[in-house]
Chain A
């Protein structure tokens, strides 16, 4: 009984992390129409960098700030690259998929060469603080995920709904041409979209890094989990991502606990296929039918 409670708590907390992955994907998608297959690798860079630096004795906070700086520079560069496809009139989705997949391959293999291919478990300053639950201990890292997810989601909603930049992003995600004619600087906004995705991605990396194993190859599975979380609710609906993340986090944790690693790895892809088969419009998306064809 106690193990079910333990898995539930852990699963929900990890689910918040997946919701953050999905949020990073959704901000960029809703901000510039680019679906980012490299989000998991951006997260991986933050997590792996901090893991490598703290293992060699650097202060956690300093390493985290450096990771944030690196990720933002990387995202700004990618953003500048993606200005061209983002402003083009005829938006070629195939090329955006291939382009971000290419970026994902570059990041994963550069990280592998520069930071090494070892697997780490990241230790944050709060890793040793723990709550006792029967024979299980739950580190505060798990609760930090929930708190950080709540803050970032609230911040995202404020920016998206209340600020001028958010308004421009909504305009761009609805119709690039119309936004351009109304004075939105499409190129600038594309870079801003990537920077926001990088900012959210860094936090996701720091937090998920302390509860998952960190390695250069963790990126693509994270992206898939993020997609799965986003698909359950529909990409346009950030609250859907929270529910989706929770479902995937729970399913993965229980699968890992009772069935093993292979089952855990197949949860996110199976959920994507299952959602397509059973709920083609997503659980929460009322207007999802249109967005699904994008």
Chain B
């Protein structure tokens, strides 16, 4: 059972990478810009999906890791080799994540939400005002990107992030089957019961938060590469809410949630160009609607479709 699931995930991950590469070949530059943006947010969504879907912690402050990734790449790629420009921001993110866990160790539920929102707000203030580091309101322009032979412009980012997303997807899905993932799910649904089984809530919370920071940081670095410019607008509180919205709209804990959630939150609004002003209203409404009427997000829809049209051999996976 375990092995066949792993194999399914590996095949699905390969399919994700194949779709991203095919999209890079087929799409026109503007379209692949949108596709790359979607894939970047899906990658970040994987972090949030692990945090909120597996461990049950709603973070409204993950923009801080997004910003560390983006500004880290922007500054380091000029002076250091590529692996360092990725690795150092990830390490900084892990250190910051550890600090946040120490602060929020004693709280859960509402207070965790409030505290992470406060951290998000602090991150926004820092981004706007730490001028030597972030360029303040002017931001940083002319950021380098990784090259892929045979592709040009946004296609290069799309190919690389597509492959990274596939890897992250495989790890995310496998984590759910692992003892650590099972322990996380246990703490999400019943704190007392999981404690009585000998699960250390503190270390689960710690690990979940640390793990969730990594894909968000890497996604931030790719966002900087995709648009060649970063500024406070990209790392606002709205971005923070967008990140959590992806996991919630997709369906907390479902393995496809980050990708489908990113399609709803990033791609759909881009398609509704004429209504650009109402883009944010749309995703606010999507958030409220899902929270109130569709608590399991798009996964609920998927279950419904499968029960209605699919084979009856397999029952709902969620």
Contact = CB atoms under 8 A, between A and B. Distances in A.
Contact of A262 (B125, B237, B278, B284): B125
Interface residues of A, number: 45
Interface string B76-111: 000000000000000000000000000110111111
Contacts of B113: 35, 37, 93, 97
A294 B284 contact: no
Contact of A95 (B245, B278, B295): B295
B115 A272 contact: yes
B292 A109 contact: no
Please report whether the interface of chain B is mostly helix, strand, loop or mixed according to DSSP.
Answer: helix
Given A262-B125, A276-B107, A294-B110, 11 more contacts: A35-B110, A95-B248, A95-B292, A102-B285, A106-B288, A220-B121, A224-B118, A270-B118, A273-B122, A276-B103, A276-B111
Interface of B: 52, 56, 58, 60, 103-104, 106-111, 113-115, 117-119, 121-122, 125, 128-129, 237-238, 241, 244-245, 248, 252, 277-278, 280-281, 283-293, 295
A272 B285 contact: no
A101 B111 contact: no
Interface of A: 35, 37, 81-82, 84-85, 92-99, 101-110, 113, 220-221, 224, 227-228, 231, 262, 265-266, 268-270, 272-273, 276-277, 280, 292-294
Nearest to B277: A113
Given A98-B58, A105-B280, A113-B281, A92 B295 contact: yes
Given A37-B113, A97-B113, A109-B281, A273 B288 contact: no
26 contacts: A35-B114, A81-B292, A95-B291, A98-B58, A99-B288, A99-B291, A104-B284, A105-B238, A105-B287, A106-B281, A106-B288, A109-B280, A109-B281, A220-B237, A221-B121, A224-B117, A224-B121, A227-B114, A265-B121, A269-B118, A272-B115, A273-B115, A280-B106, A280-B107, A292-B106, A292-B111
B98 to A, nearest CB: 14
